[in-house]
Structure 1
Amino acid sequence: MTAPQPDAAARARLAAIAEHLIPEAHGMPSAGEVVTDERLAFVLGSRPDLAEPLRAALRPDLGDDVPARLVTLAADEPGTLASLQLVIVAAYYTDGGVRERLGYPGQLALTVDPDAVPEYVREGLIEQARARGPVWRDPATGRRAEKEDSDGRVGA
């Protein structure tokens, strides 16, 4: 099933937002130029679940002021804003011309030798990370999270 495309007015709003988020710079085209109906159809065909949040993000009652629209969405509908940004970024970076300018040919099939020991293991580069243990950022706080032991103590 193909996700419905935005009407002409919504498409114009999308182009303005795309232009604002990814302007032309450093020899790269703007997203306003790249996010065509074809790119949009590709993204929504791959992710039809993004069609409804995209429609909500492009609704006319949010006005024509792009920065104000983005601020409103960030404050009131962060999930809708995230979906809008994902559609624009996905459409931009799946464009063949953009990938060519970046020197990214896409995913390549590589042969993997399951018996080969990676160079970073042979050189001992991974030992410091293994000795340190897992490290990650807590998505709720953005701070570095630390491993707790079985008694709930941090840094164990």
Structure 2
Amino acid sequence: MSKPATAKLSADDRAIFGAIADFLVPKTAKMPAATEVGVAAGGIDDVLKFRPDLIEDFHRGLEKAKGLTGAKAAELLFETDKDAFGAVSLAASGAYYMSPKVRQIIGYPGQESLTYDNHETPDYLTNGMLERVARRGPTYKPTPR
């Protein structure tokens, strides 16, 4: 079976995904709901572009969810098709946390290129961060059998 392209998401597909995403990532006092940050608009396209391995399961999940509310669709997928549920829920959370608005709220600027001088003594060796670990001494817990 060939994998469907993300561009083939219809308005109905996006609405179904948005309903499921809003159930999985609802609005809270501090955070917006999934559809408020565009997960069903452009966010899902970005996720599926970066994770093409999810496309087949994602589309199967949307097909099974037709005509259901977000809550009922998520429950059905969770109970009957774990792979589809995993793809849809991962796509929802991925698109949510890729949103610039969400990243700003949680204080995550994205990946940054940091310089590193391998000749400089790291701060954690001089700022006392490791003192309590050294004072505690070695600990050992045997692996359970």
> Given the two structures, how large is their TM-score scaled by the length of structure 1?
0.72
Aligned residue type for 2:33: S
Asked whether the equivalents of residues 17 and 32 of structure 1 are also in contact (C-alpha less than 8 Å), the reply is: no
What are the superposed Cα offsets for residues 103-151 of structure 1, whole Å, 9 maximum, x if unpaired? 1111122233445356279634445696325xxxxxxxxxxxx626xxx
Distance 1:107 1:130, change over 3 A: farther
**CA shift at 1:28, angstroms?**
2.0
Unaligned runs of 5+ in 2: none
- Percent sequence identity over matched residues? 28
Rounded Cα–Cα distance in structure 1 between residues aligned with 2:137 and 2:80 = 40
- The alignment yields a C-alpha RMSD, in angstroms, of 2.7
Q: 1 or 2, which has the higher helix percentage? A: 2
Query: Which of 125, 132, 138 does residue 140 from structure 2 map onto?
Result: 132
Indicate the residue corresponding to 2:143 in structure 1: 147
Indicate the residue corresponding to 1:48 in structure 2: 52
Greater RCO between the two (CA within 8 Å, min separation 6)?
A: 2
- Aligned residues, how many? 136
Q: Equivalences for 1:91-130 in 2 at 5 Å? A: 91-114=95-118, 116-117=121-122, 119=124, 123-126=130-133
**1:67 equivalenced with 2:63 (yes/no):** no
> Given the two structures, how large is their TM-score scaled by the length of structure 2?
0.76
Rounded Cα–Cα distance in structure 1 between residues aligned with 2:73 and 2:58 = 13
